[in-house]
């Protein structure tokens, strides 16, 4: 009955939204998404990919930008600026293919192979607003500095071309991970106790029991000072520190009559590909970058794996373009598969629909959230950090749009779980994230065919990368931008529990970007999208859907890993990349 009511409510909402949308376009003119052109202002067309991060951030930034320049004349006979937003779904190579016919002046999108766009002459030179003569952000409220100052060394090395020019700026940060229902964890006390011999299988018995140190290996001083009251503070105490502890947690959750995990059945291969890339990056740390640079020393290459899963390493190996195939034998890759095998080892660990191809990522989000009011609750969701923003309408439906309702986005406590470590030895090393969506903001040189348009586009791109805009984006989306900046206490106070949890993780983590200017990488970038690097040769067949194979046939992580090595041979590498390795 609850399920029927839920879908009926969503269907009615969709119908009303459609009617309102059609009426708006009919009354106001549909050529600009229902926005009437103001002939007294200069128009700037801005595109933001219609994905999980949404466009509320663009609406907010546009309103402030229009207000800031409301008395400024950019064209004779006109005063002020009017932002015309666009929210297309086309990204990456599809966007590039038709970029010359795209009227948008500023574009924020993802899956951008930066140097392909540069080679196509699609992007305007924006060096002056990133690091040059017009880059000072003081005018937009920053305490000096510029956009380049908000980039990491790795980002600068990638985005600044060999002739010291910039053509794009990183946009949103995308991380895969495990989201956990903190309210449920607190209610059922799904936390590890500091005293593992407490008679409750090592889980806390009372809410104020001292919890384990968690994956960071450090006890939370704030919670300790509050008498181990963990209710008002975001920390990792009590969460699983290792893969083995995560499995133990799943057993404990299932034993309490709760479903431990859910993810998209329709997109399970993509979810696990990206999730395994995240797990591998966390294990490898800075060495993860070798998968794109092919230059440096690899210390995590696997020599052999015992039947019990014990890994033996090769001596440190210098990686070059010639032997890049050796990286497919990295321990990070093996342990990522091992984690997947562990959570698929029992059907009680996951929802029934996790391999159902009609069960979308938004269905998984809905089931995760709606389970709060259903008999069979769900403890954790594997998804990207954009999930909460993407599920905004579900929160609104559950709370009838009341932010103070216990089911609202503002009230629900969902945490971004710090990744457990593959081995005990890694506990306390800190977390490494990989930002994998190649998201970027740039100026479409084809549509900025006048000095006025180009100048205004540069101003807007600079404006949305100022401190106030970065904080505003983070508050509205519950996700960080892919730049280095701080959040004020005022902004943090406005964020949801999940937003704070995600920000805390990002702030303390090491981030490795899948970037390189190595010709091998640039000429074959799509080959080195890490999540596609788990293809395995099994029974003389190349398997791409690894998670389904493990689930259906119960093959081991060791078999899958050895199949990857069997597929990624020195001979195949030499044949594919001869021009870059000779």
Domain assignment present for 550 = yes
pLDDT attached to residue 173: 97
The stretches of 120-200 forming alpha helices (DSSP H) are 127-130, 153-159, 182-188
pLDDT attached to residue 24: 34
Interstrand relation of 296-298 and 317-319 (parallel, antiparallel or unpaired):
antiparallel
The Cα 34–Cα 371 span in angstroms is 37
The Cα 170–Cα 482 span in angstroms is 6
Q: Which of 238, 258, 274 is the last residue of a domain?
A: 238
Domain assignment present for 506 = no
Give yes or no: residues 268 and 387 share one domain: yes
pLDDT attached to residue 129: 98
Give yes or no: residues 25 and 166 share one domain: no
Give yes or no: residues 134 and 101 share one domain: yes
The answer to whether residues 400 and 409 touch, using CB atoms and an 8 Å cutoff, is no
Q: Profile the chain (582 residues) by mean pLDDT over runs of 10 residues.
A: 39 36 34 84 97 97 98 97 96 96 97 97 98 98 97 97 97 97 97 95 96 95 93 92 98 98 97 97 97 97 95 98 98 98 97 97 98 94 98 97 96 97 95 96 96 98 98 98 98 97 95 96 93 93 96 96 97 95 78
Interstrand relation of 510-512 and 432-434 (parallel, antiparallel or unpaired):
parallel
Domain assignment present for 513 = no
Nearest to 171 by CA among 193, 157, 150: 150
pLDDT attached to residue 84: 97
pLDDT attached to residue 479: 98
Q: Exposure of 495 by Cβ count < 10 A (0-12 exposed, 13-18 middle, 19+ buried)?
A: buried
Give yes or no: residues 356 and 220 share one domain: no
The Cα 193–Cα 95 span in angstroms is 51
What's the helix, strand, coil split of the chain in %, to 5? 45, 15, 40
The Cα 556–Cα 337 span in angstroms is 9
pLDDT attached to residue 27: 32
Domain assignment present for 512 = no
The Cα 442–Cα 140 span in angstroms is 19
Give yes or no: residues 267 and 373 share one domain: yes
Q: 81: domain range?
A: 37-173+436-495
Give yes or no: residues 360 and 411 share one domain: yes
Domain assignment present for 31 = yes
The number of distinct structural domains making up the chain is 4
Domain assignment present for 338 = yes
Domain assignment present for 291 = yes
Task: Give the number of other Cβ atoms within 10 Å of residue 318's Cβ.
Answer: 10
The answer to whether residues 384 and 175 touch, using CB atoms and an 8 Å cutoff, is yes
Give yes or no: residues 554 and 471 share one domain: no
The Cα 152–Cα 148 span in angstroms is 8
Nearest to 426 by CA among 555, 563, 244, 237: 244
Q: Which single residue is written with the structure tokens 């493990």?
A: 550
Give yes or no: residues 153 and 203 share one domain: no
Angle at 371 between CA 368 and CA 375, to 5 degrees: 150
pLDDT attached to residue 532: 87
Q: Which single residue is written with the structure tokens 């003119």?
A: 29
pLDDT attached to residue 402: 96
Give yes or no: residues 164 and 182 share one domain: no
The answer to whether residues 429 and 332 touch, using CB atoms and an 8 Å cutoff, is no
Give yes or no: residues 371 and 430 share one domain: yes
**CATH code, 47:** 3.40.190.10
Give yes or no: residues 541 and 426 share one domain: yes
Give yes or no: residues 209 and 230 share one domain: yes
Q: What is the pTM of this model?
A: 0.93
Measured in Å, how far apart are the chain's first and last C-alpha atoms?
66
The answer to whether residues 461 and 129 touch, using CB atoms and an 8 Å cutoff, is yes
């Amino acid at each position: 009955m609850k399920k029927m009511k839920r879908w009926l409510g969503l269907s009615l909402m969709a119908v009303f939204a459609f009617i309102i949308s059609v009426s708006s376009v009919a009354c106001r003119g549909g050529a600009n998404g229902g926005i009437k052109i103001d002939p007294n202002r200069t128009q700037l067309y801005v595109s933001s990919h219609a994905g999980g991060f949404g466009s509320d951030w663009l609406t907010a930034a546009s309103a402030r930008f229009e207000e800031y320049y409301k008395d400024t004349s950019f064209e004779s006979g006109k005063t002020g600026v009017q932002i015309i937003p666009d929210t297309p779904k086309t990204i990456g190579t599809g966007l590039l293919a038709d970029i010359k016919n795209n009227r948008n002046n500023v574009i924020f999108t993802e899956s951008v192979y930066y140097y392909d766009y540069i080679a196509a002459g699609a992007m305007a030179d924006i060096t002056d607003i990133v690091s040059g003569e017009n880059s000072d952000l003081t005018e937009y409220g920053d305490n000096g500095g510029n956009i380049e100052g908000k980039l990491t060394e790795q980002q600068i090395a990638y985005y600044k071309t060999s002739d010291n020019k910039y053509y794009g700026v990183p946009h949103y940060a995308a991380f895969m991970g495990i989201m956990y229902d903190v309210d449920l964890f607190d209610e059922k006390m799904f936390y590890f106790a500091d005293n593992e011999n407490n008679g409750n299988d090592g889980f806390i018995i009372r809410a104020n029991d001292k919890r384990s140190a968690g994956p960071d290996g450090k006890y939370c001083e704030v919670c300790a000072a509050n008498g181990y009251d963990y209710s008002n503070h975001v920390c990792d105490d009590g969460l699983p520190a290792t893969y083995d502890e995560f499995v133990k947690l799943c057993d404990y959750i299932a034993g309490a009559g709760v479903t431990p995990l859910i993810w998209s059945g329709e997109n399970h291969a993509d979810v696990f590909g990206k999730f395994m890339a995240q797990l591998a990056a966390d294990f490898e740390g800075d060495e993860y970058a070798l998968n794109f640079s092919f230059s440096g020393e690899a210390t995590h290459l696997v020599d052999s794996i015992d039947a019990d899963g014990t890994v033996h390493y090769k001596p440190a190996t210098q990686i070059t373009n010639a032997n890049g195939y050796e990286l497919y034998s990295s321990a990070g890759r093996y342990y990522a598969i091992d984690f997947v095998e562990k959570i698929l080892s029992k059907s009680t660990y996951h929802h029934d629909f996790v391999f159902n191809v009609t069960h979308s990522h938004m269905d998984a989000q809905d089931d995760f959230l709606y389970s709060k009011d259903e008999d069979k609750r769900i403890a954790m969701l594997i998804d990207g950090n954009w999930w909460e923003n993407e599920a905004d309408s579900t929160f609104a439906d559950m709370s009838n749009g009341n932010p103070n309702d216990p089911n609202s986005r503002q009230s629900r406590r969902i945490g971004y779980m710090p990744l457990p470590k593959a081995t005990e030895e890694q506990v306390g090393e800190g977390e490494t994230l990989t930002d994998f969506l190649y998201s970027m903001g740039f100026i479409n040189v084809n549509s900025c065919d006048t000095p006025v348009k180009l100048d205004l586009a540069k101003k807007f791109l600079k404006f949305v990368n100022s401190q106030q805009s970065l904080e505003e984006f983070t508050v509205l989306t519950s996700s960080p931008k892919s730049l280095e900046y701080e959040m004020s206490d005022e902004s943090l106070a406005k964020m949801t529990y999940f937003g704070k949890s995600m920000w805390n993780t990002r702030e303390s983590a090491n981030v490795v970007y899948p970037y390189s200017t190595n010709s091998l990488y640039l000429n074959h970038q799509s080959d080195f999208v890490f999540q596609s690097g788990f293809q395995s040769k099994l029974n003389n067949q190349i398997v791409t859907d690894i998670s389904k194979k493990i689930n259906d046939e119960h093959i081991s992580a060791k078999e899958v890993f050895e199949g990857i090595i069997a597929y990624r041979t020195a001979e195949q590498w030499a044949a594919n990349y001869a021009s870059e390795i000779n």
